[in-house]
Amino acid sequence: MARGEMLTVFTYDVSINRNRRRIASLLENAATRVQYSVFEARMTKAHAQSIAQRVAAELGKGDSLRVYSVGANGLERSAVYGDGVPFETEEGFWIV
């Protein structure tokens, strides 16, 4: 990983469709959707906080956003099973 970057995971639970679409749009511009309400991206802590603040502004009563940062050591211990999207690498993705 580039210096200062971590794999950042954003996951949300939003009850109102309009807010959910706005939040998904914000995250789609910054990260890769890996499940319906789960996004991943390689980014710095400052960038993740900036995005999280924009998303948090769209949350309503009872909604939630969780942000997890995974460093290089944690990424080495992480795995994807089944047909899930692979973790981003420094080299990017190859589509065959």
DSSP bridge pairs for 10? 39, 67
Read out DSSP for 48-64? HHHHHHHHHTT--TT-E
Q: Which residue ranges form the domains of the chain, and what is each CATH number?
A: 5-75 (3.30.70.240)
pLDDT of 90 above 70: no
Least confident of 13-17, 76-80, 87-91: 87-91
Name the pTM for this structure. 0.81
The SS3 of residue 89 is: coil
Measured at the CA of 83, the angle between CA 81 and CA 84, to 5 degrees, comes to 70
Question: Residue 89: its pLDDT value, please?
Answer: 58
35-84 pLDDT, tens digit per residue, is 999 999 999 999 999 999 999 999 999 999 999 998 877 777 777 777 76
Q: Is 11 buried (19+), middle (13-18) or exposed (0-12) by CB count in 10 A?
A: middle
